Amino acid sequence: MLNIIPYEPRYLSDLKEHFERHWSESGDNDVYFLPFDLNKPSRPRGIDPAACDKDYSEVGWQRWFLVVSDNRVEGHLGIKSNPMEAALHRCELGMGLERQIRNKGIGSRLIVKAIEQATSIKGMAWLDLHVMALNHHARSLYAKYGFVEQATILDRFRIEGHSLDEVLMTLDLSNIESNQL
């Protein structure tokens, strides 16, 4: 059974192992969902455990939820503050599921969790995300929950010889009511 649970420090090594498995799937069949080359040392590292304790009024806060099956982390949801103080009324969603748990409704559950979390934060007005333009499945899923495409950045990334466009999507939280989720 798959459960979505809040991040706890005891899951840090399991979460990092999940990141490695999940990230290694990016680029399979020319479907990229990560904006970096796994072989580069400058790639992101995922969670910042210290940021999980930051108050929502501080730049750099993060909140994470894990998809766990039989004590194994197989998916994640990260919600992060905007990196600029003047934009703390916005937060950013990032999520990922390992191949074996995709297309089972878990992505929908994570999006609902993200919206619930974001709407519970005082003063939060927008939930943003970035998605690769070729990831039509994810774009459709986000749109189903009210995210609107705001911009497409052409040739945003070049990874392993591929030019990848990126789409910015956003959800206006002022129009969300709990009975809509």
Q: Where are the domains of the chain?
A: 2-180
* 88 pLDDT tier (thresholds 50, 70, 90): very high
Backbone angles phi, psi at 74, to 5 degrees: -125, 0
The CATH superfamily assigned to 2-180 is Gcn5-related N-acetyltransferase (GNAT) (3.40.630.30)
- In this prediction the pTM is 0.91
Q: What is the mean pLDDT of the chain?
A: 91
Considering the chain, what percentage of its residues have pLDDT values greater than 70?
Answer: 94
At residue 8, φ and ψ (nearest 5 deg) are -130, 145
pLDDT confidence of residue 93: 97
> What's the confidence (pLDDT) of residue 178?
60
Q: What is the structure's pLDDT at 181?
A: 63
How many other C-beta atoms lie within 10 A of the C-beta of residue 173?
18
Given a contact cutoff of 8 angstroms between Cβ atoms, the answer to whether 79 and 135 are in contact is: no
- Token pair in block for residue 143: 């749109």
